Structure 1
């Protein structure tokens, strides 16, 4: 295949994925630039989560390939892909998955400590991110003592704390009330841009996609359109952006 553009840190080419014989992705290609916020839009069941799983190396496509920094992910063994996800990628699920035995700051610092960062430094970084998401006061609480929205903020802080190259966010604000979504998305995208972190954001919500630099739309596993969005400041408070799907 043709080498990806120099500014694409991540590139998918002609991905085909089938689940139980049914097509989940059909010939999807896209590139993600360093520090770019890319929204993957489309209705539920359009293939957004499957695409994120392929891009992050969790799932290998039956056809096509994904390259990260020029390296095809399918050429890496399982252990190498796991190290890549630990060291270079971050992941945010629609529902927060936290370690119940750890308190909030320990959960937020978990990936740093797994990388070998010292406990004191990991704690300081985790507390900084928890403060950014307005839950610094919950740092010593365990997940069972947190509200669902607070647990999701901890999960987002955990993904950002190690400053990965790419964060994959699958409907990251789904558990939040509408009033909280804009603040959390603004913090996530501003922090990612300031740290040069690319974010691939799966969403069916136009207001969420409005925080991205660019939107790629899926329908029935196919890429159907690309929408270039205006700056966030021109779209906040409005729901005028529409996704082609």
Structure 2
């Protein structure tokens, strides 16, 4: 076991993780994330970005390797302890919006706060504040099925920010958004993270998104690499508002 550096809020050493079919997702990846840092994890689809975020957040346990949060070993925690840590200290944004269909937008955004014991009135106000910042305040009383996919994703982002997590894990958080929407939402997310002292680990295959981070870690085929040159995502609008095609990535392996 290797002691994590004192200045890293998250630290992972020699992570190995396999998919259910046995194919490798991570092959010896090590990474450190400093407090209040916005770290982009870049690479093409299938490079291991989601697997790395899952291991760092305690969502999954690596087959081998270590993960530490504030000098606490996540890799030795049981499932209940990891679930409690994710609820109390972490936030998560998926690439596609996942909301409770029976709840309206503000109730969805406030749900994690109320699960933590925040009074309903206070949770509602915090949720409404974030929905307003993300330009979805006028849909606060609508249910998810009454919102467009891009609007639902904004609700998910508001939900993740409203709890003021110590670390926010964002897995392609603006994938369902149009290019103009992506820029606004990313500015809101990064500004909020910096003003509230939130550490962000952001997975992306978009060079423009990665450029907003303080630092970038590149992955390819489950390994750390020195560089992955990703072209900006080409805009291809669909009915849901999702966009994007990928170019080929040029890379060089880390020493």
Q: Specify if TM > 0.5.
A: yes
Q: CA shift at 1:2, angstroms?
A: 3.6
Distance 1:103 1:197 in 2: 26
Q: CA shift at 1:38, angstroms?
A: 0.4
* Cα deviation 1:156-213 (Å, max 9, x = unaligned): 0000101011111000000000111010000001101111111110000000111100
Distance 1:159 1:112 in 2: 10
Q: What 5-or-longer segments of structure 2 have no aligned partner?
A: 229-248
**Contact 1:41 1:48 (8 Å CA) reproduced:** yes
Q: What SS does the corresponding residue of 2:4 show, helix, strand or coil?
A: coil
Q: What SS does the corresponding residue of 1:199 show, helix, strand or coil?
A: strand
* Cα deviation 1:68-121 (Å, max 9, x = unaligned): 111111221111100011010111000000000111100000100000000000
Of 18-27 and 75-84, more deviation after overlay is shown by: 18-27
Q: Structure 1 runs of 4+ off > 4 angstroms? A: none
Q: What SS does the corresponding residue of 2:218 show, helix, strand or coil?
A: strand
Match of 2:196 in 1: 195
Distance 1:226 1:131 in 2: 37
Q: CA shift at 1:244, angstroms?
A: 6.0
CA RMSD between the two structures: 1.5
Match of 1:22 in 2: 23
| Match runs of 1:107-118 below 5 Å | 107-118=108-119
The alignment status of 1:12 with 2:39, answered yes or no, reads no
Report the TM-score, using the length of structure 2 for normalisation: 0.88
Match of 2:81 in 1: 80
| Match runs of 1:25-64 below 5 Å | 25-64=26-65
Are the structure 2 counterparts of residues 160 and 183 from structure 1 closer, same or farther at C-alpha, using a change threshold of 3 Å? same
Q: What SS does the corresponding residue of 1:200 show, helix, strand or coil?
A: strand
Match of 1:210 in 2: 211
| Match runs of 1:162-181 below 5 Å | 162-181=163-182
Distance 1:192 1:24 in 2: 28
Match of 2:121 in 1: 120
Q: CA shift at 1:27, angstroms?
A: 0.7
Distance 1:225 1:217 in 2: 6
Q: What SS does the corresponding residue of 1:111 show, helix, strand or coil?
A: helix
Are the structure 2 counterparts of residues 226 and 115 from structure 1 closer, same or farther at C-alpha, using a change threshold of 3 Å? farther
Distance 1:56 1:211 in 2: 22
Distance 2:13 2:115 in 1: 32
Match of 2:238 in 1: none
Match of 1:230 in 2: none
Are the structure 2 counterparts of residues 2 and 244 from structure 1 closer, same or farther at C-alpha, using a change threshold of 3 Å? farther
Q: What 5-or-longer segments of structure 1 have no aligned partner?
A: 228-242
Distance 1:244 1:66 in 2: 29
